[in-house]
Every structure is written in structure tokens, then in C-alpha cells.
Amino acid sequence: MQIATWNVNSVRAREPRVLQFLERTGVDVLAMQEIKCKPEQFPVQSFEELGYKVIAHGLNQWNGVAFAYKNTLEARDIELSFPQQPHFKDVLEARALGATFNGIRLWSLYVPHGRALDDPHMDYKLEFLERLASHVAEELEENPESEMALMGDFNIAPLDKDVFNVGFFDTHVSEPERDAFEVFEQIGFSDLHRTFVPDSYTYWDYKDLRFPRNEGMRIDFVLSSPALTDRIRSGTIERDERKGEGPSDHVPVISLISD
């Protein structure tokens, strides 16, 4: 089974590209972030015509997460948030979507940006990560053999080499953010793409010719629990999806899971 994650930066604006990606790769489950629409606005019909079902979770024109999955699969135990997911300004934003496919628990996650080191959104980001980590740690403690993947845009570059110039950034590379990311590794989650694709970015800003200059960031991940890590055989970062007409500023990350 192939699983993938992609911050599509508006599924309605990027609909043809997402469909072409699914048709080209045959990915079984695609986790999407920043769909920027309500469920009733999602272009479900075109996905269904391609042989995919859709679960979408969005509140307005911001944020939003979704799964597109082959119609041969069933989605079970769907959750529109994780336990104790924090609110921002009294709103439980559409930033987490969980579902189980073939016994594998997948989360599509759009971690808050943070905006600035002294911004309330940074506190929100760190609380979001802390509570997510607490939830998945509890899940693994109860069932160490649980197969789970945390997939999405974490808005964190864990290593200096994950950005084109670490001195250019304040957020995404700060110690509190990197510490929050490292907690998932301490729990037991792995990023096998470090082995499969050691040096590649997943995001390039639209401004200042960032993509042609390869001035990007590595902020999109598939983090796998120990039991699932044992089954992941390969992975790619689909850099070419940043090329061409109307791309997202992020590219897909794909993992191949053995039967």
C-alpha cells in the first residue's frame, strides 16, 4: 500500500494537479492539508470518477484536512480531531483528521504556523504538538504494536540542513519547535525519508524565485510508529510537483508499505 501526504494549498485551485498525481502514482491513501474549503465545497465528484472516496474536514476558506483513498478501501474510526486538541480563539480548527485503513491508523495533520516567536499562535503551535504527542504516546503505551503514521505539514524544519539558510528564519527552526518535534522521535516515531531521500526540501515559497534557486524548507513528514516502520520499504519526495502551471508551494511525500 502506498500512502502520501501533500499540503495542496487549496484543493479547488489545485484539483487538476492532485487528480493527475493520483492517476500517475496510484497512491492508495492521500492525506491532504490546507484544502481551504468546507466538506460540501470539496470537488468530490472528480475524485470519485477517478476511483477515490473522500473524507474532508474544513470550516472555512482556511486550513482544512482531508483523505482521498481508493474505493477498494474502507475508512474506519474517523476522528475530526485528536483528544484534547487545543482551540485557537475559542475555535477548534480543522487541523487534524484521523482514519484507519487496512488496520493502519493515519493522521492528516496541519500543524499551526506559529507566525512569530512571541505571537500567541506560537503558543498554540507548541500546545498543539504537545497534546498530539501525549495522545499518540498513550496510544502506543496501550498497544505497542499499533501501526500508525502522523502525516502532514509540521511547519518545523528539525535540522539546519532542512532550510536553505538557517539564519534567514526565526520560526520553524527555533529550539522550542525543534524540541517539540523531537518528542515524537523519543516516543518511537521514525522519519524513514531521512534514509530514502537524505537531502531534499518539501516546500518553496512562491516569492523571490525560491524554487528555481532551490531555496526551500523540509517541513512535510510521514512519521511512523515502530510497528509500521518495520513495514515501510521505500519513500520519495515528489519534487517535480513544484514545477509547471499552478503548483502548490509544497510537494507530496510518499511511503510504500509492504503487505
| C-alpha–C-alpha distance, residues 95 and 60, integer Å | 12
Each of the 259 residues of the chain gets a pLDDT tens digit; together they read: 999 999 999 999 999 999 999 999 999 999 999 999 999 999 999 999 999 999 999 998 889 999 999 999 999 999 999 999 999 999 999 999 999 999 999 999 999 999 999 999 999 999 999 999 999 999 999 999 999 999 999 999 999 999 999 999 999 999 999 999 999 999 999 999 999 999 999 999 999 999 999 999 999 999 999 999 999 999 999 999 999 999 999 999 999 999 8
- The reported pTM is 0.98
| C-alpha–C-alpha distance, residues 244 and 227, integer Å | 38
CATH number of the domain enclosing 190: 3.60.10.10
Q: Which domain holds residue 230?
A: 2-257
- Which helix (H) or strand (E) segment holds residue 145: the answer is none
| C-alpha–C-alpha distance, residues 116 and 172, integer Å | 9
Burial of 151 (0-12, 13-18, 19+ CB in 10 A): buried
Buried b / exposed e along 43-61 (16+ C-beta atoms within 10 A): bbeebeeeebbbbbbbeee
Contact yes or no for 253/217 (Cβ under 8 A): no
| C-alpha–C-alpha distance, residues 92 and 113, integer Å | 15
Strands 76-79 and 65-70: unpaired
Q: What pLDDT, on the 0 to 100 scale, is given for residue 252? A: 98
Strands 76-79 and 104-110: unpaired
All cell numbers assigned to 50? 477517478
Alpha carbons within 13 angstroms on the beta-carbon side of residue 122 total: 14
Contact yes or no for 203/217 (Cβ under 8 A): yes
Domain total in the chain: 1
Q: Is the dihedral of CA 154, 257, 196, 23 positive or negative?
A: negative
| C-alpha–C-alpha distance, residues 219 and 203, integer Å | 7
Q: What pLDDT, on the 0 to 100 scale, is given for residue 61? A: 87
